């Protein structure tokens, strides 16, 4: 690193005899070389004759779920200390949202936890709708579509968790099958929203557009496929002695530990507590759907796997109920000062804007043109206030803290992402375990670093 105005100087005498650390002058200014950080501990331990070592697992390790860095202190193969290093994927999403309209904010939040984009959108949008005071005005069809898309997204997210977890333990068949089923789920997302990921589909007031022709039939075919194939994961893993040997008793964290650390989702429910915001604090009409909250009582990685399998079955049941409830009707709130996103439908060729809508705003209604112009250039205003909106994402409680100063863009946005909170459990789960068990424990948490580094 070379800079004219850097004033950092290595502290203490530890660097005096280190030929690789220190400062030297160049024609461009001082150059500072700082080594180790964690490796300083290694040098000290070696000098003291201790048989321990500090290693970095990640941030590009294939078993760390993206760019999670684990700093492990080892005594042989036993982990004596574990720390998480995060921040490698920071995108500044929360800050960027302060410079975009409320509708444009959906495009940012969908990219946080990139495995569950519909949940990011829903938490944010439900918070905005609370501030607008239009929660009860959202059309029934829009709410049903929201629930359906979130439950399909829960299935696709759990499939990735099970597939990557299986891969990290060497169960490659589980990995290939998991991604096969996920591809079919993403095909549905593409059919309905036009995109496989990062959809910006759930908007303030409803959803961006109605279901396209053939969507209901495609979803029903998908449900039949999934009911035929979901049992294969249980056949591969439930009583597999190798799988159970890797997961039973691994990553143990009891109810007291979860409560102390603020852990939610399948990790919490593996302790036997049926805490699910869809039941305890329902939203989008979840209280009217018939489903169960799966729990386990082993507090370990095996129980979390079993919970996710059962949650996928419950999600399939909810999607079936959604299809039965789909009645013709609008998918966006009636207030035209908010309802622009659904009015601006894509054309029949899948590109550009609907010709019918363009004909309406350009040649039939001056009022529609004015609303369209103001919504696109300025956005709608949200009354001043703040609200916290929690929902149940695949990884636990995802909460949106929305603050408005009465303008056309958020004054402050902050998200309580479950991956960020759940990673606090890594030391409790891993210290005292073997190195191989660290991979299984982290996989059972199912962290997504896009949600941690916002």
For 7-35, the pLDDT digits (tens) are: 444 444 444 555 555 666 777 677 655 45
Is the pLDDT at 251 greater than 90? The verdict is no
pLDDT band at 170; cut points 50, 70, 90: confident
**10 Å Cβ neighbour count for 100?**
16
Q: What is the pLDDT of residues 333-347, one digit of tens each?
A: 888 778 765 455 555
CA-closest candidate to residue 391, choices 94, 199, 149, 182: 149
DSSP-assigned beta bridge partners for residue 412: 403
Q: How far apart are CA 347 and CA 133, in angstroms?
A: 32
Q: How far apart are CA 82 and CA 105, in angstroms?
A: 36
The C-alpha angle 117, 121, 127, rounded to 5 degrees, equals 150
Q: What is the DSSP letter of 345?
A: P
Q: What is the pLDDT of residues 258-288, one digit of tens each?
A: 999 999 999 999 999 999 999 999 999 999 9
The answer to whether 14 and 42 are in contact (CB under 8 A) is no
Which pLDDT does position 11 carry in this prediction? 45
Which pLDDT does position 41 carry in this prediction? 59
Q: How far apart are CA 270 and CA 255, in angstroms?
A: 9
Ordered by start, the domain boundaries in the chain are 102-338+380-452
CA-closest candidate to residue 301, choices 433, 179, 397, 449: 433
The answer to whether 82 and 427 are in contact (CB under 8 A) is yes
What size, in residues, is the chain?
Answer: 454
Is the pLDDT at 49 greater than 70? The verdict is no
Q: How far apart are CA 9 and CA 114, in angstroms?
A: 40
Q: What is the pLDDT of residues 383-411, one digit of tens each?
A: 999 999 999 999 999 999 999 999 889 99
Which pLDDT does position 55 carry in this prediction? 83
The answer to whether 250 and 440 are in contact (CB under 8 A) is yes
**CATH class for the domain made up of 102-338+380-452:** mainly alpha
Is the pLDDT at 184 greater than 80? The verdict is yes
- Mean per-residue pLDDT, 214-231: 91
Collapsing DSSP to helix, strand or coil, 13 comes out as coil
Strands 22-26 and 206-207: unpaired
Q: How far apart are CA 227 and CA 193, in angstroms?
A: 24
DSSP 26-88: ETTEEEEE---THHHHHHHHHHHT---EEEEE-SS-TTSTTT-EEEEEEETTEEEEEEEE--T
């Amino acid at each position: 690193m070379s800079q004219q105005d850097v004033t950092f100087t290595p502290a203490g005498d530890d660097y005096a005899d280190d030929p690789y650390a220190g400062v030297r002058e160049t024609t461009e200014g001082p150059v500072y070389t700082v080594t180790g950080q964690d490796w300083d501990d290694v040098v000290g331990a070696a000098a003291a004759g201790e048989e321990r070592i500090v290693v970095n697992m990640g941030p590009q390790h294939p078993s760390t779920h993206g760019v999670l860095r684990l700093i492990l202190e080892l005594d042989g193969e036993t982990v004596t200390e574990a720390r998480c290093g995060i921040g490698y994927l920071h995108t500044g999403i929360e800050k960027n949202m302060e410079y975009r309209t409320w509708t444009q904010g959906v495009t940012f939040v969908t990219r946080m936890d990139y495995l569950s984009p519909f949940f990011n959108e829903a938490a944010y949008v439900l918070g905005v709708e609370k501030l607008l005071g239009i929660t009860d005005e959202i059309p029934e069809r829009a709410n049903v579509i929201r629930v359906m898309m979130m439950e399909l997204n829960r299935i696709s997210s759990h499939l990735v968790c099970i597939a990557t977890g299986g891969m990290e333990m060497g169960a490659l068949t589980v990995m290939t099958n998991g991604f096969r089923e996920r591809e079919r789920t993403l095909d549905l997302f593409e059919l309905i929203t036009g995109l496989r990921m990062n959809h910006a589909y759930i908007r303030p007031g409803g959803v961006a557009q109605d279901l396209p022709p053939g969507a209901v039939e495609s979803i029903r075919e998908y449900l039949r496929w999934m009911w035929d194939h979901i049992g294969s994961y249980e056949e591969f893993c439930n009583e597999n002695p190798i799988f159970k040997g890797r997961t039973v008793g691994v990553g143990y964290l009891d109810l007291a530990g979860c409560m102390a650390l603020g852990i939610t989702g399948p990790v919490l429910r593996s302790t036997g507590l049926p805490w699910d915001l869809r039941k305890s604090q329902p939203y989008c009409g979840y209280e009217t759907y018939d489903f169960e909250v799966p729990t386990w009582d082993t507090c370990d990685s095996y129980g979390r796997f079993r919970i996710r399998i059962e949650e996928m079955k419950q999600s399939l049941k909810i999607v079936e109920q959604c299809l039965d409830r789909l009645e013709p009707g609008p998918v966006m709130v009636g207030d035209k000062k908010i309802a622009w996103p659904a009015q601006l439908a894509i054309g029949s060729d899948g590109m550009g804007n609907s010709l019918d809508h363009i004909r309406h705003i350009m040649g039939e209604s001056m009022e529609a043109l004015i609303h369209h112009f103001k919504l696109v250039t300025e956005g709608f205003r949200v009354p001043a206030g703040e609200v916290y909106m929690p929902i149940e994402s695949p990884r636990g409680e995802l909460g949106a803290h929305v603050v408005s100063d009465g303008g056309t863009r958020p004054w402050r946005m902050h998200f309580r992402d479950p991956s960020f909170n759940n990673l606090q459990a890594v030391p409790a789960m891993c210290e005292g375990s073997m190195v191989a068990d660290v991979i299984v424990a982290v996989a059972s948490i199912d962290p997504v670093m896009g949600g941690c580094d916002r």
